[in-house]
Structure 1
Amino acid sequence: MLFERETQEAALRETGEVVAVRGETGTGRSALLRLFGRLAADGGARVLRAGGAPAERDLRFGVVRQLVLPLVGDPCATGLPPIAAKLLQSAAGPDCSGAVPLLHGLHVLLVSLAAREPVVVLVDDVRWADEPSVRALAFLAGRLRGTRVRLGVVLPDSPRAPTLQEIARIAGPGVRAHALSRNGTRRVVDARLDADPAFATACHELTGGRPKDLDELLSRAFAHRLTGRAVDCVPLRQLGASVQRERLRLLVRREPEVGALARAVVTLGRHAEPELVARLAGLDAAACAEARALLGAAWLGTAVDGRLVPEPALVRVVEETRSAADTAAAHRTAAALLASQGFPPEHVAAQLLSVDALRGPGDVTTLRTAAVAAQRRGAPDLAARYLRRALLDLPPDDPGRARLLTELAAAEPDPRAAVRYLVQAAPLLPAGRERAEAVARIPLTAAARGPLVTDLVRTATGVDDPDLVPRLEAREWFAALEEPGRAAAAARRLRQLPDRPPGPGDRELRAVLLLAATLGGRVTAAEAARHAGVLLDHEPARTVRAGTALRIVPLVLIAAGRPDAVAPWLASAGGPRATTATRVLVDVHQALALLSRGRFAEAADPAERAFRAAEPGGYDVLALPATTVALVADSARRRDLARQVLEDLPDSDDLAVFAVRRGLQGMLAARENPDAALAQFLDRGRLLDRAGWRNPAIYAWRGSAALLARRLGRTEQARQLAEEHHRHSVAWGAPAIVGRSLRVLAALAGRRHAIELLREAVELLDGAPDELEAAKACADLGTCLRETEPEAARRLLSRARELAESCGAGRLEAREDGTFGHAEQPRPTVELTAGEATVARLAAGGRTNTEIAGELSISRRAVEKHLTSLYRKLKIDGRAQLASVLGAGS
Structure 2
Amino acid sequence: MDGRAPGCRATAERDAVVGRDAEVERLSALVTDASGGGQVLLLSGAAGMGKSTLLEYAARRAEEAGRRVLRASGRESERDLAFAGLHQLLRPVLDEADHLPDRQRRALLGAFGFVPDAPDPLLTGVAVLTLLSQVAERAPLVLVLDDAQWIDSASADALAFAAHRLDDDPVTLLAAVRDDGPGFGRGLPTLVLPPLDPTASRRLLDLRAPDLTGRMRERVLEQAAGNPLALLELADHASLDPDDHGPLPVGRRLAAVYAARLAELPEAGRRALLLLAAADVEDPPDAVLALLPDADDKAWPAVEDSGLIHRAGRHVRFRHPLARSAVYHAAPFDARMEAHRALADALRDEPDRRAWHLAAATLHPDAEVSAALEQTADRARRRGGYAAAARALARAAELRPGRDDSARLLADAAGLAVFTGDLPWVEELAGRARARTDDAAMLAAASLHVGRLSALTGQHAAVFGGLAAIADDLAAERPAIALDALAAAAVLRFYSGEEFQRREIDRLLPRLPAGPLREWARIVSDPLGSRELAPRLPDMIAAAGGRSTAGDREGGGDGAGAGGRPVELTALAVAAWVLDETPLAIRTFDEAVESWRTDGPLPDGLGGVVALAYFEYGRWDRARAVCAGLGALPAAARLNHAVACAHAIEAMVVACQGDAAGARALADEALRLVDPLESRSVAVYARRALAAAAMAEGDYEAAYENARVVFDADGAPVHYHASYPALPELAESAARVGRQAEAIEIVERSACTLARGGSSRLRSLVRHSRALLAEPEHAEPEFLAALADPALERWPFERAQAVLKYGEWLRRRRRIAEARPFLTAAYDTFRRLGARPWSERAQAELRAAGLDVDATDPRAFAGLSPQQQQIVRLAARGLTNREIGERLFLSPRTVGSHLYRTFPKLGVTARSQLRDVVEAALGSAV
1:470 aligned residue: 483
Deviation of 1:756 after TM superposition, in Å, equals 0.8
Q: Which residue of 2 aligns with 1:712?
A: 737
Distance 1:685 1:253 in 2: 76
> What residue identity is the alignment partner of 1:701?
A
> Deviation per CA, 1:769-828, whole angstroms, max 9, x where unpaired?
233433333332233233364433334334444554565657745599x999xx999999
Write the deviation string for residues 633-685 of structure 1: whole angstroms up to 9, x where unpaired: 24323335424534764834341343344444444556486555544444444
| Contact in 2 for aligned 1:193/1:227 (Cα 8 Å) | no
- SS in structure 1 at match of 2:793: coil
1:408 aligned partner, one-letter code: A
CA distance in 1 between partners of 2:522 and 2:334 (Å): 50
Hey, what does 1:629 align to over in structure 2? Answer: 650
8 Å CA contact 1:491, 1:522 repeated in 2: no
Which stretch of the first structure deviates more once superposed, 261-270 or 385-394?
385-394
Is the Cα contact below 8 Å between 1:335 and 1:348 reproduced in 2?
no
Q: In 1, Cα distance between the equivalents of 2:283 and 2:334? A: 17
For 1:247 and 1:434, the matched residues in 2 are separated by 47
Deviations 1:660-719 (A, max 9, x none): 4444444455648655554444444449999973235x7523443343333332222121
Corresponding residue for residue 508 of structure 1: 517
Q: What is residue 71 of structure 2 aligned with on the other side?
A: none
Q: How is 1:115-264 mapped onto 2 (pairs within 5 angstroms)?
A: 221-222=151-152, 225-226=155-156, 230-231=160-161, 238=177, 241-242=180-181, 253-254=264-265, 256-264=267-275
Partners of 1:601 and 1:235 lie apart in 2 by 39
Offset of residue 746 of structure 1: 1.1
> Are 2:576 and 2:582, in contact at CA under 8 Å, matched by a contact in 1?
yes
Percent of pairs with identical residues: 16
Aligned to 2:416: 411
Distance 1:451 1:531 in 2: 31
Select 1:570's aligned residue among 571, 578, 589: 589
CA distance in 2, matches of 1:813, 1:314: 57
* Structure 2 residue matching 1:785: 3-state secondary structure: helix
Q: Does 1:651 align with 2:673?
A: yes
1:429 aligns with 2:440: no
Deviation at 1:829, TM superposition (A): 5.4
CA 1:889 to 1:804, structure 2 compared with 1: closer, same or farther past 3 Å? closer
1:272-421 → structure 2 map (5 Å cutoff): 273=284, 275-278=286-289, 280-281=291-292, 283=293, 287=297, 299-301=310-312, 308=315, 310=317, 313=319, 315-323=321-329, 330=336, 333-334=339-340, 337-338=343-344, 341-343=347-349, 346-348=352-354, 350-351=356-357, 358-362=363-367, 364-389=370-395, 402-413=407-418, 414=421, 416-417=423-424, 418=426, 421=429
Deviation of 1:463 (Å): 1.8
Counterpart residue identity of residue 533, structure 1: P
In structure 2, what residue type is equivalent to 1:334? H
Residues 476 and 593 of structure 1: CA distance in aligned 2, closer, same or farther (over 3 Å): closer
**Does the CA contact (< 8 Å) of 1:378 and 1:578 recur in 2?**
yes
Q: Residue 823 of structure 2 is aligned with which of 797, 800, 804?
A: 797
1:450 corresponds to: 464
Q: Match for residue 595 of structure 1?
A: 615
Q: 1:832 to 1:356 in 2, by over 3 A?
A: farther
Q: Distance in 2 between matches of 1:838 and 1:565?
A: 38
Find the residue that maps to 1:300 and give its secondary structure.
strand
Shift of 1:319: 3.6
Of residues 746-755 and 355-364 in structure 1, the stretch that sits farther from structure 2 once superposed is: 355-364
- Show CA shifts across 1:757-778 (max 9, x none): 0011121246632334333333
**Residue 484 of structure 1 aligns to which amino acid in structure 2?**
E
CA distance in 2, matches of 1:688, 1:340: 74
Q: CA RMSD in A?
A: 5.6
Change (3 A) 1:272 1:819: same
- Verify the 8 A CA contact 1:705 1:721 in the aligned structure 2: no
Corresponding residue number in structure 1 for 2:776: 751
**Residues 626, 547 of structure 1: alpha-carbon distance in 2 compared, 3 angstrom cutoff:** farther
Partner of 1:265: 276
Q: How does 1:24-39 map to 2 (within 5 A)?
A: none
1:484 is aligned to 2:484: no
CA distance in 1, matches of 2:748, 2:489: 34
Cα distance per residue 1:189-211 (max 9 Å; x no partner)? xxx99778xx9xxxxxxxxxxxx
1:517 to 507, 510, 526: 526
Counterpart secondary structure, 1:776: helix
Q: 1:734 to 1:674 in 2, by over 3 A?
A: same
Q: 1:229 to 1:772 in 2, by over 3 A?
A: closer
Whichever residue aligns with residue 268 of structure 1, its letter is A
Residue deviations 1:446-481 (CA, integer Å, cap 9, x gap): 46632233334444465256x445334434544555
The superposition leaves residues 829-878 of structure 1 with CA deviations (integer Å, 9 ceiling, x where unpaired) of 585699987999xxxxxxxxxxxxxxxxxxxxxxxxxx999999999xxx
* Aligned length, in residue pairs: 622
Deviation at 1:272, TM superposition (A): 5.2
Distance across 1 between alignment mates of 2:338 and 2:674? 42
**Amino acid in the other structure paired with 1:784:** W
- Contact 2:830/2:839, CA 8 A, preserved across alignment: yes
CA contact (8 A) 2:265 2:302 kept: no
Aligned to 1:205: none
Q: Which residue of 1 aligns with 2:575?
A: 556
Give, as a single letter, the amino acid of the residue that structure 2 aligns with 1:563. T
Aligned residues of 1:563 and 1:593 also touching (Cα < 8 A): yes
SS in 2 for 1:582: coil
Aligned-partner Cα distance in 1 for 2:872–2:796: 27
| Distance in 2 (alpha carbons) for counterparts of 1:420 and 1:553 | 31
Q: TM-score, normalised by structure 2?
A: 0.54
1:539 to 531, 535, 544: 544
1:161-183 superposed Cα distances (whole Å, 9 cap, x missing partner): xxxxxxxxxxxxxxxxxxxxxxx
Per the normalisation by structure 1, the TM-score is 0.56
Residues 224-248 of structure 1 deviation map (CA, whole Å, 9 limit, x = unaligned): 8545664499999948944699999
Decide whether aligned partners of structure 1 residues 193 and 230 sit closer, same or farther in structure 2, where only a CA change above 3 A counts: farther
**In structure 2, distance between residues paired with 1:218 and 1:777:** 65
Matched residue type, 1:515 = V
Q: Distance in 1 between matches of 2:539 and 2:576?
A: 11
Larger radius of gyration: 1
Letter in 1 for 2:746: L
What secondary structure does 2:601 align onto?
helix
Measured in 1, the distance between the counterparts of 2:329 and 2:787 equals 76
Distance in 2 of aligned mates of 1:838 and 1:383: 40
Q: Over residues 331-377 of structure 1, what are the superposed CA-to-partner deviations in whole Å (9 max), with x where a residue is unaligned?
A: 77336633664355532455579x59844335555444433332232
Moved more, 620-629 or 705-714: 620-629
Of 765, 775, 790, which residue of structure 2 is paired with 1:740? 765
Cα distance, 1:434–1:249 mapped onto 2, change above 3 Å: closer
Counterpart code for 2:575: V
Q: What are the ranges of 5 or more consecutive residues in structure 2 without an aligned counterpart?
A: 1-117, 126-146, 164-172, 184-253, 547-561, 848-852, 862-870, 884-891, 901-908, 916-926
Aligned to 2:602: 582
Residues 275/193 of structure 1: CA separation in 2 closer, same or farther (3 Å cut):
farther
